[in-house]
Amino acid sequence: MALTALEDALALYATTVRPLPVIERPTLEADGDVLAEPALAQTDLPRFDQSALDGYCFASADVAAASDQTPVRLSVRQTIAASGHASRPVLAPGTAARIFTGALLPHGADAMQAQERAQRDGDMLVFTRPFPSGRNIRRQAEELARGTVLAEAGQRIGPGLLASLVNAEVDRVRVRRRPCVRVFVTGDEVRPAGTPLKPGEIHDSNGPLITALLRHHGIEVPPPVHLGDDPEQVRTALAAALAEADLVLTAGGASVGDKDFLPATAEALGVRRVFWKVAQKPAKPLFFGVRDDTDGRQRLMLALPGNPGAVLISMVLHVRLVLDHLAGLKRPDLGWTHGVLDHPVERDDERARLVRMGLRHDAQGVARLNPLPRQDSHMLSNLGRADVLVWVEAGSAPVQAGAVLRWIALPE
């Protein structure tokens, strides 16, 4: 069976995965969600003409004739706070008002002088030169008008956008539903972390790795379910998961060994293979399939190889893209950028290598990539020092120091 090129595998998600249905939810609960339609401002910003500083407001026409020889004095007769108004205050002609930052500008005022620049003489505000209209005033709707598009469909709501939506009185948003995900870890030899091990057994690091990375993307899942090397148990569990989940993730049992049941079982349950086996190292035996049910729902399955290094690669590249497409992100992008290799690194003859490396920036701000030891797919001990994942193209000769390579950041 020919291997699917890594570039092709990553591109297939865009043509295969459909965004999840749209739901409406309170804006305050939507951090991390992706907008399904544009979000429009529900008010002008600012909502009213207001003071930009603490100081004094007045009519600029009242001080137009001010000079050193003929100063103009305005009586300060009121104080305008930033709240507590039953209606818009009114400034009497020829007077000024003490006003605070963000306070409603009174009728009759069109300028505002900062407190630290004002000249006071008792209850009088003194001017020795004219003052321009509009200075230090925030005009209603100068930032945006009601109905302005704050964010487009396909944009993820982060803390900054969430604050912007709340500020514009957008109380509810229409977003894509978050996916229902089920996780399975396979293998008779695998035991939960913290349990005593018999000879030949290992602790499960894949379940914690997968759930932690899903949580990093804002997705909470039930604890991973362990499946032994029993084809009937695998079939029963997979059938149940495909009946309820949008995405099923499995770790182990994806290759061609006698106990690797998952690809064949998935296909027997109606999952159409999109690809199986990718020209990448690690995680070559990755399986991706889709089932379109009669109720209109799409069921996705990614069967990941069992070595934890392969699980990491699969989650950081493949699962992340699937999640972004499910969320309806406008331009799903892993965020590849470029850096300079500090030390030579080996290639693989047939497959692109995904190499864990450290990252530093030199005095000129150039990203420098430092290959780490212990890169085999069963090894995770270098993750405490790994900052990035580096794409090393297939080839026979090593990549030399100074070469420019693509990298993406690993989740912190």
- Domain 24-44+144-176: what homologous superfamily? Molybdopterin biosynthesis moea protein, domain 2 (3.90.105.10)
Residue linked to tokens 């007769």: 77
CA distance 47 to 139: 9
Phi, psi of 15 (to 5 degrees): -95, -5
Domain 337-409 - what CATH class?
mainly beta
- Let me know: does 128 contact 66? Beta carbons within 8 Å: yes
Nearest alpha-carbon partner for 321 in 306, 302, 337, 339: 302
Identify the pLDDT of residue 270.
Answer: 97
**Residue whose entry in the numeric block shows the structure tokens 């950028």:** 337
Q: List, by residue range, all CATH 3.40.980.10 domains of the chain.
A: 4-21+178-326
Beta pairing partners, 225: 184
Residue 376 above 70 pLDDT? no
Indicate whether 379 pLDDT > 70: no
Instruction: Round the average pLDDT of the chain to a whole number and report it.
Output: 94
**Distance from C-alpha of 58 to C-alpha of 111, rounded to nearest angstrom:** 6
DSSP 383: G
Instruction: Specify whether the CB–CB gap between 103 and 50 falls below 8 A.
Output: yes
Which residue ranges does the chain devote to CATH 2.40.340.10?
A: 337-409
Strands (E), 277-317: 278-281, 287-292, 298-304
- Residue 194 has a pLDDT of 82
Rounded Cα distance, 6 and 8, in Å: 5
Is the pLDDT assigned to residue 377 strictly greater than 80? no
Q: Is the pLDDT at 82 greater than 90, yes or no?
A: no
What SS3 class is residue 410?
Answer: coil
pLDDT in tens, 32-81: 999 999 999 999 999 999 999 999 999 999 999 999 999 999 999 999 99
Residue range 170-195, pLDDT digits in tens: 999 999 999 999 999 998 888 888 88
In this structure, the dihedral spanned by the alpha carbons of residues 142, 25, 215 and 303, taken in order and rounded to 10 degrees, is: -120
Task: State the pairing for strand pair 287-292/39-40.
Answer: unpaired
Instruction: Please provide the size of the chain in residues.
Output: 412
- Which residues of the chain does CATH 2.170.190.11 include? 50-138
- Architecture per CATH, 4-21+178-326: 3-Layer(aba) Sandwich (3.40)
Please check whether the domain covering 50-138 is classified as CATH 2.102.10.10: no
Q: What is the mean pLDDT of the segment spanning 208-232?
A: 94
Spatial separation of the C-alpha atoms in residues 80 and 147, rounded to whole Å: 30
CATH 3.90.105.10 intervals, the chain: 24-44+144-176
Q: Which of 199, 150, 155, 203 is nearest to 30 (CA)?
A: 155
pLDDT at position 256 over 80: no
